[in-house]
Structure 1
Amino acid sequence: MRRLPRSRDRLLIAGLVLLAVAAAAAVGIWVQVGERQALDTRYRAGASVPDRVDIAASVQRVDAAGREMVLRVLVTPRGDLAEAGGISPARTLTLQTSPSVRGDLTFPAHGRISTVDVRVALTAGSVTDYPFDAYDAALEFGVVQGGEAVPVRMTLSNSDALFAADIDAYEADGAAVFDVGLARSTSALIFAVFMMAAMWALALAVLIGAWFLLSRRKGLTWPALGWMAATLFALAAFRNTAPGAPPIGSLLDYMAFLWAEALIAFCIITVAVMGMRAEAHPPEPKD
């Protein structure tokens, strides 16, 4: 008879399982804290003189398929450039931007300034490289008030949890310049890789089940066929949960999804055809 594990062995296995769970939780917390710190990071460029225009901008959303990102901008004049309350420019203020930003912004004198969402075109990269796609954006902001260039101080941050931003901030000719690199966040990348591994695992599970049915000449085993068909359609729904909703034809599809679907469909068809033949020609009973 097979000997059951002793109490010490069971305690050792339980301890190893708890240690593995604790290690996985610790890694998850470490990744989450790192991403939270990245979202809280502020990048600054420009002059810090009293009479200046402050610009606070944050990346609200990155649309990889549309190759653009939405930037929320708040402009605040300081010192002699603002009226007494500090929320309105003393003279008409124009925010001049780089070509990648969709148009300059003009704020009339004595008018209240509110936040504005602007769209920025992305360069490099392609969404079909998902989940390893990466993009660039060049931002340049200068301010003209009353026909004269005035000092500017800008702060840029990232609020899109699906993307990690690598930002280089500096000042050039009185303007605040930011070179932004965007890539999938660690959590989105981990989940996408897990999806690909899960797709292959499910496809291999269906392949093993089909091999068992064919080698044993089980015929039309309806519960098994139902499980295979359910897996085929469940994978399509599972694929649509990918972070960022990548389009069909991305690297995720060519590395896992399309192959898994093809393999499962082949297994279903083969099991159905061979099962029908087995049902039509059952083995003769032995005497």
Structure 2
Amino acid sequence: MQRRMVLTGMVALAAARIARAQEVYPSRPVRMVVPFAPGASSDTLARLITAKAGGPLGGSFVVENRAGAGGLIAAQAVARAAPDGYTLLWGGGTAVTHAVMQANPGYDIFRDFTPVTEIAENPAVLGVRTASPLRDMAGLIEAAKRPPGLRYGSGGVGTPAHMAAAALLKVIGAEGTHVPYRGANQATLAVEQGEVDFAFAISNIALPRQQQGAVRVLCTAGSRRMTALPQVPTLAEVAPGIPAVTSTSSVVGPAGLPPEVTAKLHAAFRDAVQGDPTLRASLEAEGGEIILSESPAAYAAAWPAEVQRLRDLVRISGATIE
């Protein structure tokens, strides 16, 4: 009798293993952790693209907002999650930023994540109030050099927007007063209301505000001039030596994500964007550049350069997390 019970248990265990092996991914909703509050530009974009990617994936995504510490809380949560493909992070650049800015972010950027795909990037742009006397970058630089300098806003201490402004002032030999806000949307609103003289914000936040007549973009911070604003110079043109400052729409998972799951997720996001001209047009209209990764391996190979670019920005700007 005892031997029969043991055999029965072994058969049941083997059957459970076979069932798990044959389980089609995804068999339940995939949790996409967004490191910002609901309604933020990154949150809106994440919801739009994950809704489209659910079709090719054959499943659905549930967006979970884990705001706090500039995205560090979300990055730590995903780094510690089970590598089963059911917990992902929107915006691998957030994890990279904290890996560079923090002495101990609680994870290793190369060891604790699985890069899945890069979708698009939006450059940061420098905006001023439409009624501002600062009409171009020459005027802004001249004003910044006159005491007491200019007040500039950002979405928080140590954010790429903060570093971009600090680097600009340092390269041109000017002083300024940093006023941090609780997000890029709030910093842009502060520009509109005249609380600060200028602020860097991601293009998908600033361009709609320019189209509404609330702000005027004086320069962009991508590696090349934006298609949507071909007449506007880049930050590197007016202040040579500053690396590109961009926000990347990308997806990463915890380390150890099965290759077949990673490949399926990559294909789902690729097919969703490639198969939807309206989505692509919407991204590009707000200054986004579609940069779909050829493969998860291609995205992973780009990470070291991304880390070095941010290290260069930190070095030039002198910005630190207080």
Under TM normalisation by the shorter chain, which class is it?
under 0.3
Larger proportion of helix: 2
Relative contact order, higher structure (CA 8 A, sep 6+) = 2
- Taking structure 2 as the reference length, the TM-score comes to 0.20
Larger proportion of strand: 1
Larger Rg: 1
